[in-house]
Amino acid sequence: MEVVYALWLLLAVGCGSLLGFLFARHPSPGRRIKSQNFAAAEFASAFALRDTQPDLISWIFCNTPITIWSTDEKLRLGDAYAPLIEKRSGVKMETIRGLTLHELFQTDDDNHPALAAHRRALKGEAVSYETEWAGRTFAARVHPWPFDGTPPRGCRGVAIDVTEIRLKDEKLHHLGTELERAHADLQRFAYAVSHDFKEPVRMISSFLRLLETKFQDKLDEEAQEYIRHSIGGAKRLHTLVDSLLNFCSTANAGVTKEACDLNALVGQIVSDVAMSVQARQASLNVKELPTVQADPTLLSQVFRNLISNALKFSGDKKPALVIETKPHREGNLVLVRDNGIGIPSEYLAKIFVPFVRLHSRDEYEGDGIGLSLCARIMERHGGKIWAESEPARGSTFFLLFPKPPTPA
Ligand code: ADP
């Protein structure tokens, strides 16, 4: 809509000058308008353009889907000019001269957008509206005439054919609705599947354990080995199902934003992971952090995932973490930096996709859900997360929180 009106404004300058050609009954208004309304100023500059660039004005009309018209105070059409629209609609402008707007739009409805707008224009208002005519859609604006502030004796209108734009809008809207529905279905499906998988997986695990303990004497070493592998697989499946369930419920949880002091929020997580920090002889440097508008429960998950990843993917080094903030023009930027194994550049975007892992479970424990959850949570806060990294030297995760809207 904004694009249409921006285009409309641009074209209004050109249209106004043509109005000048067509409706030359009144003297050039540019000189006598007291600039008490925007429409008058708009048309004044258009008339100035008419005098300096007449070729440009006719070029605009022959190549853009603009129409201009005049009406008297009884809303009877005077002149209308629309070369390109004539070509598209097949309706010659001279055939509609003298029709009332009721006749033109073949309606008795006084609330028809064009009729309502013209009536308001006759009361001295410039009005924008959208209407259908000759099978096409127009974004239009009608002004009271004359432009000198004396009581209106008619209207001057200008419109642009937006049929194709509206068709694309509709298609886009339709696609958006379809996409939303498909997304909701998929979420429901993932939730149902992960929920319903839990029970059979638990059953498989417990029967395998029974088999292992009850028939220990009867099974040879090879059979016991197979059972151990199966129990391991069932356990992993159970963890995956749990993670998927966690992803579905957290990713779709309601977001209740409040002022979150990140110093307190991160401080709490740091004290929760104190044992594993000590065990890994890690250093954690948390600098002064901002307060952001966020859901504290969801945001804690983000920092918990990032901190535990930084501790986990440290390779042979003692983990060294820095959490700090840097200025950013779009909002509050928080950085979580580590000195770990790093991430090859071709995977920097993929690590935010659910279940994508760059290492086997034997190397590093995990299920590949943490970062996708972080991305989803940041997205739901209107923010962003991304990573930069240098393999073998460390990674930095960036969290961008949008600026709160300024009160009107
Ligand atoms: P998980 O930690 O369970 O594997 P994540 O979704 O948290 O799952 O991370 C996805 C993958 O991204 C990890 O398996 C790892 O390969 C990579 N990754 C995440 N954080 C880091 C980090 N700080 N340093 C190096 N690699 C990382």
Confidence band of 41 (pLDDT split at 50, 70, 90): low
Q: Ligand 1 pocket: which of 350, 357, 397 to mutate (most atoms <8 Å of CB)?
A: 357
Q: Say how many Å lie between the CA of residue 314 and the centre of ligand 1.
A: 11
Closest ligand 1 atom to residue 369 Cα is 6
What is the residue with the minimal CA distance to atom 7 of ligand 1? Answer: 370
Closest atom of ligand 1 to CA, residue 397: 23
pLDDT 10s digits, 122-163? 999 999 999 999 889 999 999 998 887 889 999 999 999 999
Are 321 and 307 in contact, with CB atoms under 8 Å apart?
yes
Tokens 């886009």, located at residue: 172
CA dist., res. 327 & res. 74, Å (int): 61
Q: What is the pTM of this model?
A: 0.62
Closest to 138 in 3D by CA, of 105, 98, 111: 105
Q: How much is the pLDDT for 336? A: 98
According to DSSP, the β-strands at 320-328 and 394-402 are unpaired
What integer pLDDT is reported at residue 235 of this predicted model?
87
CB 231 within 8 A of CB 282: no
> What is the distance in A from the centroid of ligand 1 to the CA of 116?
61
Atom 20 (ligand 1) nearest CA: 309
Residue 25 CA to ligand 1 center (angstroms) comes to 75
The percent of residues above 90 in pLDDT, for the chain, comes to 56
Q: Which two tokens stand for residue 1?
A: 């809509």
Q: What is the 3-state secondary structure (H, E, C) of 143-178?
A: EEECCCCCCCCEEEEEEEECHHHHHHHHHHHHHHHH
Range scoring the smallest mean pLDDT among 49-58, 63-72, 176-185, 287-296: 49-58
pLDDT of residue 47: 56
pLDDT of residue 187: 79
* Side-chain half-sphere CA neighbours of 188 within 13 A: 6
**Distance from residue 363's CA to the centre of ligand 1 (Å):** 12
- Is residue 207 within 8 Å of 199, Cβ to Cβ? no
CA 312 to each of CA 62, 319, 325, 365: distance values in angstroms, whole numbers, following the listed order: 67, 8, 23, 8
- Given a cut of 50, is residue 36 above it in pLDDT? no
CA of 361 to the centre of ligand 1 (A): 11
Is 330 in a helix, a strand, or coil?
coil
Atom of ligand 1 nearest to the CA of 341: 25
Among 314, 333, 335, residue whose Cα is nearest residue 394: 314
Pairing type for strands 394-402 and 66-72 reads: unpaired
With contact defined as beta carbons under 8 Å apart, do 252 and 286 qualify? Answer: no
Residues in contact with ligand 1 by the CB-under-6-Å rule are: 305, 309-310, 313, 338, 340-343, 351, 356-359, 366-372, 395
Examine the pLDDT at 105 and tell me if it is beyond 60: yes
pLDDT for 249-272, tens place per residue? 787 777 889 999 999 999 999 999
**Of 76-85, 240-249, 256-265, 356-365, highest mean pLDDT:** 256-265
Instruction: Please tell me the distance between residue 374's alpha carbon and the centre of ligand 1 in angstroms.
Output: 11
Selection from 88, 147, 82, 86 nearest residue 121 by Cα:
147
- Six-digit token string for 393: 């030297």
- CA of 306 relative to ligand 1 center, distance in Å: 9
Determine contact, residues 141/128, Cβ cutoff 8 Å: yes
Q: What is the pLDDT of residues 367-378, one digit of tens each?
A: 899 999 999 999
Helix (DSSP H) and strand (DSSP E) numbers for the chain: 13, 12
DSSP string, 223-265: HHHHHHHHHHHHHHHHHHHHHHHHHHHHHTSPP--EEEEHHHH
For a substitution probing ligand 1, which of 314, 351, 393 has the most ligand atoms within 8 Å of its CB?
351
The structure tokens listed for 362 are 């034997």
Residue 52 has pLDDT above 80, yes or no: no
Distance 368 CA to ligand 1 centre (A): 7
More confident residue, 188 or 269: 269
Q: Residue 248 has which token pair?
A: 């579905």
Q: Which atom of ligand 1 is nearest to the CA of 338?
A: 23
